[in-house]
């Protein structure tokens, strides 16, 4: 890892904070990418595709000693992907659909240098209690989760009162699977 200058290609303050937690120095560089994927992709194929797409945008710009980290997170519920809500009504609908059920959060990460690309993904199962309409609306009104896949952030109020358990990496649900990322960076 020390052989490379790390670049995090993410505007997400959550991902930036998580990577800081690993104690590594990095620079933030972003590019505007249209996050569109082929409709035939299923489950983990979606974030893997998008993470690779984001990395490829840096292909020509990377210097010999630079390693870019890109990632994408999706919420997978009832055999379909839940993205970021486009409206308050869509956010309410997403949380109603997650209420009382188990779903999966899948984050894919791509590590790329000038000569090498490696991608991996991590899956965490998240269990929501049955949420009341009042809880859903209170959360949306106070936390505005429009920049979050599935319309929620586990690190916010809804996670404290609405998620009794998870199976897997908590940080994966926040947006970056830190344990696995640290392992993969060590191997890289």
Among this protein's residues, is 147 annotated catalytic? no
Annotated catalytic residue: which of 61, 72, 147, 169? 72
**Per-residue pLDDT, 187:** 87
Domain span holding position 128: 5-187
**Per-residue pLDDT, 12:** 87
The average pLDDT across 132-148 equals 94
Give me the CATH number covering residue 13.
3.90.950.10
Question: Count of domains in the chain?
Answer: 1
Percent with pLDDT over 90 in the chain:
80
Mean pLDDT of the chain: 94
Looking up tokens 């993904």 gives 121
Percent with pLDDT over 70 in the chain:
99
**pLDDT tens per residue across span 15-57:** 999 999 988 899 999 998 888 899 999 999 999 999 999 999 9
List the beta bridge partners of residue 80: 77
**pLDDT tens per residue across span 75-118:** 999 999 998 899 999 999 999 999 999 999 999 999 999 999 99
- Regarding pTM above 0.85, the answer is yes
How many CB atoms are closer than 10 A to CB 110? 25
């Amino acid at each position: 890892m020390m052989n490379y200058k790390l670049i995090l290609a993410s505007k997400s303050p959550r991902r930036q904070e998580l990577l800081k937690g690993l104690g590594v120095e990095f620079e933030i560089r972003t590019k505007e990418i249209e996050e569109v994927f082929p409709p035939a992709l299923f489950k983990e194929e979606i974030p893997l595709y998008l993470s690779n797409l984001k990395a490829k945008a840096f292909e020509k710009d990377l210097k010999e000693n630079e390693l870019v980290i890109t990632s994408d997170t999706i919420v997978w519920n009832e055999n379909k992907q839940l993205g970021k809500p486009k409206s308050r009504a869509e956010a309410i609908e997403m949380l109603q659909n997650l209420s009382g059920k188990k779903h999966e959060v899948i984050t894919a990460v791509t590590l790329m240098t000038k000569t090498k690309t490696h991608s991996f993904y991590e899956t965490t199962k998240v269990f929501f209690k049955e949420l009341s309409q009042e809880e859903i609306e209170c959360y949306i009104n106070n936390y505005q989760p429009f920049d979050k896949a599935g319309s929620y952030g586990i690190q916010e109020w809804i996670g404290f009162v609405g998620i009794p358990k998870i199976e897997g990496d908590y940080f994966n649900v926040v947006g970056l699977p830190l344990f696995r990322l640290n392992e993969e960076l060590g191997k890289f």
